[in-house]
Amino acid sequence: MLEILAKQHDDWIRIAYGMTNDMEEAKDLVQDMYVVVLERVSLTGKMYNTNQANRYYIWKVIRSVFIDSMRKTNSRKNVKTIPLIENADTSSDVDFDYSENDAFDSIHLKINDLTKEWGQYDRKLFELYFLHGQSLRQIANGANIGLNSIHNSVKGYREAIKAELSEDLQDYFNQDYDKID
């Protein structure tokens, strides 16, 4: 099982780096992901098919490990000390803002709701390309469908998501998380 995951080790590092912006922390997250995956050996059907890891499932595990590490780190920072001097300044306590995660989850749910309205063909293509990370050529070869047809479909999915969620996506990229419902 680890051999299958290890084939895409650089991809997992890249995903984790996108969350942390710190290469050492990204490597730590990926190592923690391997530990979590080993603990969940009974879920191997979700983790990979016969020869390739389920990118979406592994992404969710890495994200979960990242959030857990942020909670642990920030819970240590948030430990309130009893001031020994009356009216002592405790403003240095830092609260972690979960609004980015909430906004991301909200957008993710909206995309899921949108794709539920699509036909089975479109949902499967969307899943293969966006969630499993297959290239257009891989999908075309595996499904015996023309490359142009797949390209046009994927382009349509992007346009549909942008049309439906453009304001939320813009708010997310501008870090206006409170505007996303």
> Which residue type does 172 have?
Y
In a domain, 122, yes or no: yes
Contact between residue 73 and residue 148 where contact means Cβ atoms under 8 Å apart: no
9 and 40 assigned to the same domain:
yes
32-76: per-residue pLDDT in tens?
A: 888 888 877 655 555 555 677 777 778 888 888 888 887 776 544
49 and 110 assigned to the same domain:
no
Q: List the one residue out of 179, 153, 154 whose CA is nearest residue 165.
A: 179
121 and 174 assigned to the same domain:
yes
77-132: per-residue pLDDT in tens?
A: 444 333 333 444 444 444 445 577 778 878 888 888 888 888 888 888 888 887 77
Q: Domain span at residue 49? A: 1-77
In a domain, 84, yes or no: no
Q: List the one residue out of 89, 91, 88, 25 whose CA is nearest residue 62.
A: 25
Q: What is the CATH number for 155?
A: 1.10.10.10
**In total, how many domains does the chain have?**
2
Contact between residue 70 and residue 29 where contact means Cβ atoms under 8 Å apart: no
